[in-house]
Structure 1
Amino acid sequence: MDLKNKILQTPTGKKLLSEYQLNLLTKNNIETLLDFHDAENQKLNKLLAIKLESVLEIKKELDMLPWQSETFVETVNELDFGTGIEELDKFLDSIAQPFRRGRVWEVCGQTGVGKTQLMYTLALNFVWKHKLQVLFIDTKQDFSTKRIQDMLLERKVDQETSEKAMADIHVVEVLTSEELIEVLKAFDQQMTDDVQAALKTKVVVVDSLAACFVDHRGREMRRTRDSLLTEVACRVRKLAVRGVAFVIGNISFSQDSGTF
Structure 2
Amino acid sequence: MTDLEQFDGLGLSTYLIRKLQKKCIFTRYELLITSNAELMEITGLTEAAILELKEKIGKDFFHLQQSNLNNWKTYTKIYNTGIENRLDILLAETPLKTGSIWEICGKSGVGKTQLCHTIAFNFAAQTQGTVLYIDTKCDFSGTRIMEMLRCRHVPNNICGRIMQDILVERTGTAEGLCEILERLDLQLNAGADADGGNIKLVIIDALPAVFFKYRSELNHLKGKYLLAKLNNLVYQLSKEHHIAFVYVNLLVNIEEEQQVPEDMDNEEMSEPYEMPSASLNLAGCVGMRPALGEYWNRAPHLRLSLETPLDNTSITNERILRVIRSCYTAVGTTCNLHITTAGVS
State the Cα distance separating 1:195 from its structure 2 match.
4.5
**Is 2:172 the partner of 1:175?**
yes
* Greater strand content: 2
**Equivalent residue for 2:216, pick from 215, 218, 222:** 218
Residue number in structure 2 paired with 1:90? 89
**Is 2:49 the partner of 1:77?**
no
Q: Which amino acid aligns with 1:106?
A: E
State the Cα distance separating 1:219 from its structure 2 match.
4.0
Residue number in structure 2 paired with 1:186? 183
Please give the secondary structure, in 1, of the residue aligned with 2:228.
helix
Tell me how large the CA RMSD over aligned residues is.
2.2
**Is 2:160 the partner of 1:160?**
no
Please give the secondary structure, in 1, of the residue aligned with 2:95.
coil
Residue number in structure 2 paired with 1:128? 125
Residue number in structure 1 paired with 2:29? none
Return the index of the structure with the highest Cα Rg.
2
Please give the secondary structure, in 2, of the residue aligned with 1:140.
coil
Q: In the aligned structure 2, how far is the partner of 1:92 from the partner of 1:155?
A: 24
Q: In the aligned structure 2, how far is the partner of 1:135 from the partner of 1:209?
A: 15
Please give the secondary structure, in 1, of the residue aligned with 2:105.
strand
Q: Which amino acid aligns with 1:198?
A: G
Contact 2:98 / 2:238 at 8 angstroms: preserved in 1?
A: yes
Structure 1 unaligned spans of 5+: 9-18, 20-67, 69-73
**Equivalent residue for 1:230, pick from 228, 231, 235:** 228
Number of aligned residue pairs: give it: 192
* Greater helix content: 1
Q: Which amino acid aligns with 2:160?
A: E
Contact 2:113 / 2:139 at 8 angstroms: preserved in 1?
A: no
Structure 1 ranges of 4+ moved more than 4 A: none
Q: In the aligned structure 2, how far is the partner of 1:123 from the partner of 1:211?
A: 20
Contact 2:134 / 2:202 at 8 angstroms: preserved in 1?
A: yes
Q: RCO higher in 1 or 2 (8 Å CA, sep ≥ 6)?
A: 1
* 1:152-176 deviation digits (Å, cap 9, x = unpaired): 1111012221111011100000110
State the Cα distance separating 1:131 from its structure 2 match.
4.8
Q: In the aligned structure 2, how far is the partner of 1:143 from the partner of 1:116?
A: 8
TM-score (norm 1): 0.69
TM-score (norm 2): 0.53
Q: 1:245 to 1:131 in 2, by over 3 A?
A: closer
